[in-house]
Chain A
Amino acid sequence: MTTTSTPSTKASAIPALQISNQLTELERVFTWLDVHLAPLEQHHVEDAHTNELKVVADEAIANTIHYGYENHVSGKITLRLHIDDNNVTLRFYDDGKAFNPLINEDPDLGIATEDRETGGLGVLLIRELTDTQDYQYQDGQNILTVTRKRLASTTTKRETL
Chain B
Amino acid sequence: MTLAIDVIDKGNNSYQVVLNGSLDSTTAPSLEARIGEFTGGAVAMVVFDLEHLTFISSAGLRVIFKTLKLVKANNGKVGVSKMSAGVRKVFDIVKALPDMNIFASEAEMDDYLTAMQEQANEE
Q: Say whether A associates with B.
A: yes
Would you call B55 and A54 a contact (CB within 8 A)? Answer: yes
A100 vs chain B, min Cβ distance (A): 18
Classify chain A: how many residues form its interface, as a range: 20 to 34
Would you call A125 and B57 a contact (CB within 8 A)? Answer: yes
Q: A89-129 interface mask toward B, CB cutoff 8 Å, 1 = contact, 0 = none?
A: 00000000000000000000100111110100110110011
Would you call B58 and A59 a contact (CB within 8 A)? Answer: yes
Would you call B93 and A58 a contact (CB within 8 A)? Answer: no
Q: B1-40 interface mask toward A, CB cutoff 8 Å, 1 = contact, 0 = none?
A: 1000000000000000000001011100000000000000
Classify chain B: how many residues form its interface, as a range: 20 to 34
Would you call A113 and B59 a contact (CB within 8 A)? Answer: no
Q: A121-152 interface mask toward B, CB cutoff 8 Å, 1 = contact, 0 = none?
A: 11011001100000000000000000000000
The 10 closest A-B pairs by CB, nearest first: A121-B58, A58-B57, A114-B69, A113-B99, A62-B25, A122-B58, A109-B95, A128-B93, A113-B96, A114-B68
